Chain A
């Protein structure tokens, strides 16, 4: 019952404000910790030297790009199923942040590829499907912007988001399914990581920081949207 009480924009508004504030503060703290681990504590890599330190941004951003899309599609599905306006607003609020992290993942990956692979870009499965993810985000945002009636915009974009969610497993598993240049998974839920513990710790802390940042930014954006719609 409590959940449906917060489904009203008016009651959700103050809750979103409180959560956003605490998540924002936590995000700043964790970013500081993560950067300390990544840039100071973690050792120099045997093969790549200092260049590997991009990993503390690149991998968390890539994780967030996929995670946010799935959450966005989840809110879109809830909005379609229960016909709730706020769910569709949450999906819309997540899209710009998700697109930003996708862009950051692509950009930092490109800057990492130059010194290590010798090239800024290859058309392998993982990079290509991450690029498609960026276009899917853009398509979602563009479709919302093109439709004037708010309810039609919400629902149409929801269908699009759900159709596009198929891409996320493809990105994730692409390095297993295809022989690609991109490195395979080093961090998994089932096996011990194949990297030094400090590196894993740095990545996880930065991922958490990015996650809390996304929550804070999306909730502030939803608050803006609630204000704009009244």
Chain B
């Protein structure tokens, strides 16, 4: 198995989780501003 998969998987998981955090926080904010 190509070792570089691990690098891409790490970057993908990280930025996906960070994006998720931002999205959930935006939702929370939107719910309060309504």
Contact = CB atoms under 8 A, between A and B. Distances in A.
A217 B13 contact: no
Interface residues of A, number: 27
Contacts of B29: 220, 223-224
A103 B32 contact: no
Interface string A182-220: 000000000000000000000000000000010001001
B3 to A, nearest CB: 4
Contacts of A115: 3, 6
Interface string B1-28: 0011011011101100110011001001
A40 B11 CA distance: 14
A51 B7 contact: yes
Interface in A13-60: 49-51, 53-54, 57-58
A112 B25 contact: no
B21 to A, nearest CB: 6
Given A220-B29, A228-B32, A54 B21 contact: no
Contacts of B22: 217
A100 interface: yes
B32 A224 contact: yes
A54 B6 contact: yes
A70 B5 CA distance: 34
A104 interface: yes
A80 to B, nearest CB: 26
Interface of B: 3-4, 6-7, 9-11, 13-14, 17-18, 21-22, 25, 28-29, 32
Interface of A: 49-51, 53-54, 57-58, 61, 96-97, 100, 103-104, 107-108, 111-112, 114-115, 213, 217, 220-221, 223-224, 227-228
24 contacts: A49-B3, A50-B3, A51-B7, A54-B11, A57-B10, A57-B11, A57-B14, A58-B10, A61-B14, A96-B21, A97-B21, A100-B17, A103-B17, A104-B17, A107-B14, A108-B10, A108-B13, A108-B14, A111-B9, A111-B10, A112-B10, A217-B22, A221-B28, A224-B28
The 10 A-B residue pairs whose C-beta atoms are closest, nearest first, are A108-B10, A115-B3, A111-B6, A54-B10, A227-B32, A111-B10, A51-B3, A57-B14, A224-B28, A50-B4
Given A61-B14, A100-B18, A111-B9, 20 more contacts: A49-B3, A50-B3, A51-B6, A51-B7, A54-B7, A57-B11, A57-B14, A58-B10, A96-B21, A100-B17, A104-B14, A107-B10, A108-B13, A108-B14, A111-B13, A115-B6, A217-B22, A221-B28, A224-B28, A224-B32
